[in-house]
Structure 1
Amino acid sequence: MSDELVPDPSQMRASDADREKVARVLQAAHGEGRLDLHELDERLRDVYAAKTYGELVPLTADLGMPSANLPSPVQQNLPSSRIGGTPGPTTSIAFWSGVDRRGDWVVPASHSVVAIMGGVELDLSRARFAQAEATINVFAFWGGVVIYVPEDVTVRVDGAGVMGAFEDSTHKTPTVPGGPVVRITGVAIMAGVEVRRPKRKKIRGDKRAEIED
């Protein structure tokens, strides 16, 4: 049996009706002066050329207006609310060891990650957030940190590397606006901090294996 990938919701096909809804939002934005005529023309061309929900979502994300209310799997497959709950641990520390934090946990307003000759993996796929904005402070020395951020969480990465690096690959896929905001900052000294989209499932017969984008 050949391998089959579980569909990425943002890559699901949009309908003509979906495109028309987005077009109406853009036209209303032009009427309110949010878009000039040139911008409207550019975005309308993108609307009618769009094949997937992931291509439609960014076209209205910066307008500060009611959304097109697309019946998008991008929205349907995400939790109705990620905000609220009793804050979980405020630290993840790996010293010559490893920490793997995933599943249902509540990210506090501030969470510190320390990886010294060790590794830390934080997966926010199913996490809730104590507040609408959270900061993850990272200190990595001869270690590695991987943070998985789903598409309904806005991420801002501004850490510094000293013979190391903060690498953000989430820009490769669109962010669904309106969710929590996570700032990832800190310093990586001879170490690496990677910010990625969550792992997806790859089906092989009866078995599932995790793959990364």
Structure 2
Amino acid sequence: MTDELPELRASDADRERVAEILRDALAEGRLDMEEFGERLDATYQARTYGELAPITRDLPVPGATAPKVDMVKHPEGGVSWADRIVGGEGASTWAVAVMSGFQRKGRWTAPKRFDCVAFWGGGEIDLREADFADREIVINCVAIMGGVDVIVPPGVEVVVRGIGIMGGFDQREEGVPGDPGAPRVIVTGFAFWGGVGVRRKLAKAERQRLREERRQEKLERRASRGELQGSMREEHRDVWRHGHGHGHEERRGRERGED
């Protein structure tokens, strides 16, 4: 939808194009069912381009590449991977879980090589808020009748080189291009009757920020629809009053003529 002519009337084809974008966003997980239903209702109620434009303003245009989302921001509000590659030895270089579990998460420095073992247990290595000791780090996982989850933020390149016997390494995130200057995470190791998962997730603070933005947009759309409906009701009242008053004057004129 164009912003240059917001008052131009939208056609049925325009509304269907917006509905198709919403269906794609639902399928990709960009919208939940509640948001999808609200936006779809607003789409079919929209009369102008100005009403249609906000409905998909935060969604990618079909055929275009969606911008990547970086996870850690400067205090001033900027974004830079260089600030997260700090060098040094790392805050922790190994972890073991035997019929138990371990976690490495929050603000910590991931070393050049992190070794971990999960035997009848589980572990989580969360890099979403971590700093990195080097531009490339290795996470070596041994999972025997247990499992290890590696969580990385968007923008990080992932390479999976592990070996699984009656187990496996998750390779779904491999091959996704990284941001310029972002770290590279190599996941290696061995899984026997166990598994090593690799997931790409937003940090909690970023999810909350995006959720708040969607909530504000939802409130603005509801307010806009309320103003539009109020304006339409006022217009209908004006039309009714005009017609009723005109008929009343005609009746009074006829009565005066008869007198």
TM tier, shorter chain? 0.5 to 0.7
1:135-187 Cα shifts (integer Å, max 9, x gaps): 11111100011100112221110100011000123259653232111111010
Name the one with the larger helix percent. Answer: 2
RMSD: 3.3
Q: Which residue in the other structure is 1:49 paired with?
A: 63
Q: Which residue in the other structure is 2:84 paired with?
A: 82
Q: Which residue in the other structure is 2:219 paired with?
A: none
1:96 paired to 2:123: no
Report the residue type matching 1:88 in the other structure.
Answer: A
1:51-109 Cα shifts (integer Å, max 9, x gaps): 6325xxxxxxxxxxxxxxxxxxx248655221015511110111110112110000111
Higher relative contact order, structure no. (Cα contacts within 8 Å, ≥ 6 residues apart): 1
Whether contact under 8 Å (1:149, 1:170) holds in the other structure is no
Which of 121, 124, 129 is equivalent to 1:126? 129
Query: C-alpha distance in 1, partners of 2:151/2:71?
Result: 20
Unpaired stretches in structure 2, ≥5 consecutive residues: 1-32, 36-56, 74-78, 213-259
- For the pair shown, the structure with the greater C-alpha radius of gyration is 2
Which portions of structure 1, spanning 4 or more consecutive aligned residues, are displaced by more than 3 angstroms?
11-15, 75-79, 171-175, 199-203
Quickly say closer, same or farther: Cα 1:188–1:76, change in 2 above 3 A: closer
Whether contact under 8 Å (1:13, 1:53) holds in the other structure is no
Give aligned pairs, total: 148
Query: C-alpha distance in 2, partners of 1:77/1:109?
Result: 20
Which of 150, 153, 157 is equivalent to 1:154? 157
Which of 144, 148, 156 is equivalent to 2:147? 144
Q: Which residue in the other structure is 2:236 paired with?
A: none
Unpaired stretches in structure 1, ≥5 consecutive residues: 5-10, 16-47, 55-73, 207-213
TM-score (norm 1): 0.59
Instruction: Give the 3-state SS of the residue equivalent to 1:139 in structure 2.
Output: strand
